[in-house]
Amino acid sequence: MNAFDSRQREELCAAVRALADDREVRAVVLYGGERLFAAGADIKALAAMSPGQVRGWNRALQRTFDEVARLPVPVVAAITGHALGGGLELALAADYRVAADDARLGQPEVRLGIMPGSGGTQRLTRLIGPARAKNLLMTGRTVGADEALRLGLVDEVVPAGEAHEAALRYARQLAEGPAAALEAIKEAVDHGADAALSTGLALERSLFTGVFGTDDAADGLRAFLERGARRDGPHSDGDDEKGRTT
């Protein structure tokens, strides 16, 4: 069921760090298999821990999900079956979520007398708003893919059996884009959203300036100017400047 015990968390953490250090990686897809995305934490293991042990375990899992969210490349979650508790919290760390039409998503921790501890109260609220987040968190109910789409919990719903390929297709599209610009956009959105507008704009300005020094920017700007020169050349169709689009 892809339940998160200490070994699963350690393996995920190692994989994420390897991806972060590999500059050949241009996008990442999170996928739990055809059966389900992840059922959440290993409750049997948690029930055997002392409060101090739970705190340390939770801190480590939260840190791992943070590392997923901070990957410098686009991260796409392919959600099949169930994404519950910690499983949904992992999906929330992605930049984009594709769900199969038979998927079920939720944060059912309250039904056990506990609460989410690996981003559920924070990322969910930022994604769908306080009132909707409280509804899911306080009732512990699960929602189907269509309702998740209406709530903004997922970004795309596809027929069962197609979520993985749809996520790969979107990831490949992003992987073909300019790496530095995509990384800068992700940083601006993720870090600017929680800051004052003036701080976010300053961050955006700094990142905007920085991408101008990349090879991708040089190539893109040169290609744009060359296309414009061809349109304005002796074989131009005569359209005026206002009629041109790019």
Catalytic (active-site) positions: 89, 109
Strands 28-31 and 82-84: unpaired
Instruction: Estimate the crossing angle of helix 130-139 against helix 120-128, to 10 degrees.
Output: 140
The encoded tokens of residue 135 equal: 């509804």
Percent composition of the chain: helix, strand, coil (DSSP 3-state, to 5): 55, 10, 30
Dist CA 13 CA 145 (whole Å)? 28
DSSP classification of residue 111: G
The encoded tokens of residue 6 equal: 């200490």
Kindly give, in sequence order, each residue whose CB lies less than 8 Å from that of residue 185, ignoring residues fewer than 6 positions away.
207
Q: Quick one: 184 exposed, middle or buried, by C-beta within 10 A (0-12, 13-18, 19+)? A: buried
User: Is residue 87 within 8 Å of 38, Cβ to Cβ?
Assistant: yes
User: Is residue 90 within 8 Å of 111, Cβ to Cβ?
Assistant: no
User: Is residue 106 within 8 Å of 133, Cβ to Cβ?
Assistant: no
How large is the C-alpha radius of gyration of the chain?
A: 21
